[in-house]
């Protein structure tokens, strides 16, 4: 049964926009090494995103007046090019996040998911520094889901006892 607040949010955004995942249990103490590695991977992507965003903003801000309408036009074309080559970068990415959290990765390999996270960082940076409206919350979740899933695929190939999913 849904609470009154949950019913209200379902009416606005729909149930398909909820982030859904399984429950994971720590089976062995040694698996903490995996969580530390995952944390480092997420921090690296986060730093890349923030550094890229800051550098692009520092470059464009003093030139904003001179560039005028060309700035959002160029950024829009660059983002459109990224989306043309990788359609999963379009929009908020909630469906992609839910798919990754559900383990629906198809034939993806770990490095493609890392590139997907980097692509989302670039697209978000271009969008927000162009003067267009956009945020960083959903892109951050998208990047985290892509890096986390990519990390799990990589570790699944080399770790003797991968983390088990439980209920």
For residue range 16-73, list pLDDT tens digits in order.
556 666 666 777 888 888 889 999 999 999 999 999 889 988 888 888 788 888 888 8
Structure tokens at 44: 């690296």
Long-range contacts, 126-130 (Cβ 8 Å, 24+): 126/56, 126/75, 126/78, 126/79, 127/75, 127/79, 128/53, 129/53, 129/56, 129/57, 129/60, 129/75, 130/60, 130/71, 130/72, 130/74, 130/75, 130/76
What is the pTM assigned to this prediction? 0.77
Structure tokens at 54: 């800051």
Nearest to 142 by CA among 115, 111, 107, 106: 115
Write down the pLDDT at residue 36: 94
Write down the pLDDT at residue 62: 83
- Which stretch of DSSP H or E encloses residue 30? none
Whether residue 13 is predicted with pLDDT greater than 60 in this model: the reply is no
Q: What is the pLDDT of residues 62-104, one digit of tens each?
A: 887 888 888 888 888 999 999 999 999 998 888 899 888 888 8
Nearest to 144 by CA among 123, 167, 163, 118: 118
Whether residue 167 is predicted with pLDDT greater than 50 in this model: the reply is no
């Amino acid at each position: 049964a849904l609470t009154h607040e949950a019913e209200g949010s379902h009416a606005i955004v729909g149930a398909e926009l909820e982030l859904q995942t399984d429950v994971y249990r720590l089976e062995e103490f040694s698996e903490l090494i995996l969580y530390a590695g995952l944390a480092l991977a997420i921090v690296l992507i986060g730093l890349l995103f923030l550094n890229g965003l800051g550098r692009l903003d520092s470059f464009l801000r003093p030139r904003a007046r001179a560039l005028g309408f060309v700035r959002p036009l160029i950024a829009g074309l660059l983002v459109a090019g990224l989306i043309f080559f990788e359609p999963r970068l379009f929009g908020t990415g909630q469906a992609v996040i839910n798919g990754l959290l559900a383990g629906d990765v198809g034939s993806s390999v770990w490095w493609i998911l890392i590139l997907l996270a980097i692509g989302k960082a670039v697209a978000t940076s271009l969008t927000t520094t162009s003067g267009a409206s956009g945020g960083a919350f959903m892109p951050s979740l998208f990047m985290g889901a892509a890096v986390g899933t990519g990390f799990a695929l990589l570790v699944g190939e080399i770790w003797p006892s991968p983390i088990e999913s439980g209920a």
